[in-house]
Amino acid sequence: MSAPKILVIRFSSIGDIVLTSPVVRCLRQQLGAEVHFLVKQSFKAVVEHNPHIARVHTIRHHVREVLPALRAERFNFIVDLHHNLRSLQVKLALGAPVRSFNKLNLEKWLLVNLRINCLPRLHIVDRYMAAATPLGIQYDGQGLDYFLPESDEQVALQWLSQRLGATPVPYIAFVIGAAHNTKRLPEARIVELCRMMEKSSIVLLGGADEQTQGERVAAQAGLHVVNACGQLSLHQSAAVVKHAAKVITHDTGLMHIAAAFRKDILSIWGSTVPAFGMTPFYPEGIQQNTTIEVQNLPCRPCSKIGYEVCPRGHFKCMIDIDLRQVANLAG
């Protein structure tokens, strides 16, 4: 019997895609499946070097861009790990047997709006795996995967050596970005935290949107802070995370990449909460994340994804974060 051909769907974003990696690995290793992955073109880099994936299909704006190619593949099964209108269009067009993961939208709504916590104590990886277990796989306990091209890793190491010395000193990677402002510390607090860690070398990480902010933070915080925001690609930023002594991060994609590299993480949470099941995910028997959050704040969580500004106006979930605790834990 030939190996099954399986389409995995997850359009975005960086962290969510990294969190699908155990499903992809188990499908390939346990079933010998030919795994294809459907993702937005802007996030193709997250999966394109994964050796467990035979082919990556991408869309820019509409699923119709890729439907003819997907139909030609004649998939035996679809594992929908996005479960939205776009993925429904793909499933209806292909007509293959399908399982979709449970997004728990009602349970999240109840927690956000009524403070009623009915969420199961399950990580999203467990819910992703549940969508694929009817195929005969089970989680292997090996955590997340992230595959770096060697060329990008070398570029990152060279960048570090130019700024931290030929033999780079141990440094802390500080991921200052996040998709929404209420998931990140205000700039002044980032500067304050960096100043508290004046005895450590710090490399700021973020995308092009954080480049100017990173420059301001580095200029105000001191010479021990180096800005890499907007200067490195995703893979190169991931390499900086890989070689860091510790990682300080908001709830964002590089947090999950850090977990894939089994790094010691200090994760800072604002408007979202770990109860949503998106904490750093490690192999069985390993726990290297320390969660930093303001406990017993009645307005948390105010959203399942975050806002641009605090709905209450006080932003206590980030303003009241104990920066001294973070600095002490970072060492």
* Contacting residues for 157 by C-beta, under 8 A, at least 6 apart: 168, 239, 243
Tell me: the pLDDT tens digits for 102-119?
999 999 999 999 999 999
Rounded Cα distance between 271 and 323, Å, is 17
Q: Which of 159-173, 185-199, 214-228 has the lowest mean pLDDT?
A: 159-173
**Residues contacting 88, CB < 8 A, separation 6+:** none
Residue 286 identity: I
Banded pLDDT at 162 (limits 50, 70, 90): very high
Sheet of 77-80: strand order equals 55-59, 34-40, 5-9, 77-80, 98-100
- Which tens digits make up the pLDDT trace of 299-325? 999 999 999 999 999 999 999 999 999
Q: What residue ranges of the chain are covered by domains with CATH 3.40.50.2000?
A: 5-135, 150-330
Q: What is the pLDDT of residues 139-157, one digit of tens each?
A: 999 999 999 999 999 999 9
pLDDT in tens, 247-306: 999 999 999 999 999 999 999 999 999 999 999 999 999 999 999 999 999 999 999 999
pLDDT greater than 80 at residue 53: yes
pTM of the complete model: 0.97
pLDDT at 168: 75
Question: What is the assigned CATH class of domain 150-330?
Answer: alpha beta
Q: Bridge partners of 266?
A: 248, 290
Average pLDDT on 62-82 reads: 97
| Residue with the two structure tokens 């709830």 | 251
Decide: 5 and 97 in contact? Cβ < 8 Å: no
Span 126-139, pLDDT tens digits: 999 999 999 999 99
pLDDT digits (tens, 9 = 90+) for 199-232: 999 999 999 999 999 999 999 999 999 999 999 9
Q: Which residue has the tokens 């570090």?
A: 160
Handedness of CA 106, 98, 71, 39 (dihedral sign): positive
- Residue 146's Cβ-side half-sphere holds a number of Cα atoms within 13 Å equal to 31
Residue 169 has pLDDT above 90, yes or no: no
Question: Does the structure show a pLDDT above 90 at 167?
Answer: no
Average pLDDT, the chain: 96
- Residues 6+ away with beta carbon under 8 Å from 219: none
Per-residue pLDDT at 1 = 59
Instruction: Provide CATH code, domain 5-135.
Output: 3.40.50.2000
